[in-house]
Amino acid sequence: MLDHKWDAGPGENKAAVVLLSGGLDSTTVLALASKADCSCYCLSFAYGQRHLRELELARANAARFRAVRHLVLRIELDAIGGSSLTSAEFTGPKVVSSAAVGGEELEVKIPITYVPGRNTIFLAYAASWAETLGITDIFIGVNTVDFSGYPDCRPDYLEALNIALNLGSRSGRQRRPFRLQAPLLNLSKAEIIAKGMELGVDYALTHSCYHPDSQHRACGRCDACVLRRRGFAVVGRIDPAPYQPQPEGSWAR
Amino acid sequence: MLDHKWDAGPGENKAAVVLLSGGLDSTTVLALASKADCSCYCLSFAYGQRHLRELELARANAARFRAVRHLVLRIELDAIGGSSLTSAEFTGPKVVSSAAVGGEELEVKIPITYVPGRNTIFLAYAASWAETLGITDIFIGVNTVDFSGYPDCRPDYLEALNIALNLGSRSGRQRRPFRLQAPLLNLSKAEIIAKGMELGVDYALTHSCYHPDSQHRACGRCDACVLRRRGFAVVGRIDPAPYQPQPEGSWAR
């Protein structure tokens, strides 16, 4: 489980549900599964305008890696996410102080689009779809090296959720338990990029930036851009994704 | 955990996210939480035309039991559920035989609206919203007595998911772990009804039938109706919900 040396059992046909966001990590995961002769059922989520470009790229990569199917589900994360904390409609729980729940930290340090336990929602849908399709392997592009701050990217969480998904499903209770696969879990961004290039990923068709401009060009300065740029620098390659013009001398690509 | 003798800790204010479908069980759970002086944040899901009446009733009961808020999320269960197996778009996984996944059983015995692991999706949303609100208690109206066939209604599943939700969230990792509460878990339908009546539930405002007519009157014959009727018979009360006319002699209310 969670081992990036993923392999189906002997004589077993391979199929997987692959969570595909249109970002660098999940696209690399799709390439890994696809190149291992796996029939990929890609699952993406539409939750707001900001993500339309990512969905376009997810579609392009699903086609490029010959996914059997690409399902895009509309979900209303906005209604439950951090944005609820600031909406006019939200009156606040009368019982909860910000101290008791780390409310300050939530408001100050976490982006407005952060939704607690988002990966649990994504994986719950993935497992539901997988069971309908008769598929047991579910791929997700989380990794702990760069994002150790997110609880829903950690291996103990994934292992616990894998157990719960099996107990909560017919196939898990019977002879075909789910296997959550997180092949990038222990890889650095540079290792992920190197592996993806080896597998034919076109990183021009992936999006990482939190603050792209209207032409979908990356800002080059947000956390996601910085991580991505460092990764490409380490492998000594130029990131083919489009960037906004950068101040002279600030950034040697 | 999962104990129906639910109580907040000493000096702790009480608040809970309550999964509310508009059915008999979840409405009783809402009454339980509300009568225990709990500030209730009700969460319902809209997933198709069939459920509009249930949502109306959920709204009515949320108001009746003075929920602080009632959030209705639209979700696309149709796109991943059993119905996908029969849709024109669905070409079928090339790798999965029906024998290997119990496909026959799915098609024959499980209703078309059955979605594997649906409670995991619901509870994932509930936990996400709860964390945003700073709430730790999450109520769900599952019970094993009447529906032991559903894996995602069993206590071992709920306990495993509780662990996963905690590992996958900031509040769970820190000092405020989630508590999944299933106060009806070990109650029969009759015990649930008796408790609800004691707490002031108006069961005319709950819907159970799988095959209501255009006036939302219950058929009286589907599994849900039969279970419900038996429950009312055992407690010696008349079900106030509207039923379609029944063949004479077939059913003494």
Segment holding A28, helix H or strand E: helix A24-35
Query: What percent of chain B has pLDDT above 90?
Result: 57
pLDDT for A208 beyond 70: yes
Chain B's closest residue to A133, CA to CA, is: B93
For residues A1 and A12, the model is more confident at: A12
Distances (CA, A) of B17 to A229, A231, B23, B61, B167: 41, 41, 17, 14, 19
- Separation in Å, CA of A252 to nearest CA in chain B: 37
Q: Do A176 and B101 touch (CB under 8 A)?
A: yes
Q: Which range has the worst mean pLDDT, A23-27, A35-39, B114-118?
A: B114-118
State residue B91's pLDDT score: 37
**DSSP character string of chain B:** ---SS--PPTT---EEEEE--SSHHHHHHHHHHHHTT-EEEEEEEE-SGGGHHHHHHHHHHHHHTT-SEEEEEE--HHHHSGGGGG-TT----TT--HHHHTHHHHHHHS-TT--TTHHHHHHHHHHHHHHHHT--EEE----TTT-TT-GGGSHHHHHHHHHHHHHTSHHHHTT---EEE-TTTT--HHHHHHHHHHTT--GGG----SS--TT--B-S-SHHHHHHHHHHHHHT----S-BPPPPTTS---
Q: What is the pLDDT of residue B57?
A: 96
Query: What's the average model confidence in pLDDT over B157-162?
Result: 96
Token pair in block for residue A220: 């080059």
pLDDT on residue B152: 83
Distances (CA, A) of B188 to B19, B231, B234, B236: 19, 8, 10, 15
Residues from chain A contacting residue B95 (CB–CB below 8 Å): 13-15, 39
3-state secondary structure at position A75: coil
CB contact under 8 A, B15 and A96: yes
What's the whole-number average pLDDT of chain A?
Answer: 81
pLDDT by residue (tens digit) across B99-157? 233 333 333 344 445 678 889 999 999 999 999 899 999 999 998 776 656 788 889 99
* pLDDT of A166 over the 80 cut: yes
User: Quick one: closest CA in B to A8, which residue?
Assistant: B95
pLDDT of B249 higher than 70 = no
Tell whether the model's pLDDT for residue B159 goes beyond 90: yes
Contact B125 A80 (CB under 8 A): yes
* Pick among B154, B170, B178 to test the A interface (most A CBs inside 10 A): B170
3-state DSSP assignment of residue A179: strand
Domain ranges in chain A are 15-87+102-201, 208-253
Q: Of A40, A58, A31, A19, which is closest to residue A197 (Cα–Cα)?
A: A31
3-state secondary structure A102-166: CHHHHHHHCCCCCCCCHHHHHHHHHHHHHHHHCCCEEECCCCCCCCCCCHHHCHHHHHHHHHHHH
Q: Which of B174, B178, B133 is nearest to A96 (CA)?
A: B133
Both structure tokens of B57: 């009733």
Give the residue from chain B lying closest to A119, CA to CA.
Answer: B168
- pLDDT for res B125: 96
Count of CB atoms situated within 10 Å of the CB of B11: 5
- Tell me if the domain spanning B15-81+116-202 has CATH number 3.40.50.620: yes
Whether the CB-CB separation of B102 and B144 falls below 8 Å is answered with: no
- Whether the per-residue pLDDT at B89 is higher than 50: the answer is no
Q: What is the mean pLDDT of residues A185-208?
A: 96
Q: Which of A28-37, A80-89, B50-59, B137-146 has the highest mean predicted lDDT (pLDDT)?
A: A28-37
- By residue count, chain B amounts to 253
Q: What is the ipTM of this complex?
A: 0.84
For domain A15-87+102-201, is the CATH number 2.40.30.10?
no
Q: What local confidence, expressed as pLDDT, does residue A153 receive? A: 83
pTM above 0.90, yes or no: no
Confidence check: pLDDT of B11 > 70:
no
CA A162 – CA A145 distance, rounded (Å): 21
Contact B76 A81 (CB under 8 A): no
In the predicted model, is pLDDT for residue A112 greater than 90? no
What band does A97 get if pLDDT is binned at 50, 70 and 90?
very low
Inter-chain touch A117–B154, beta carbons under 8 Å:
no
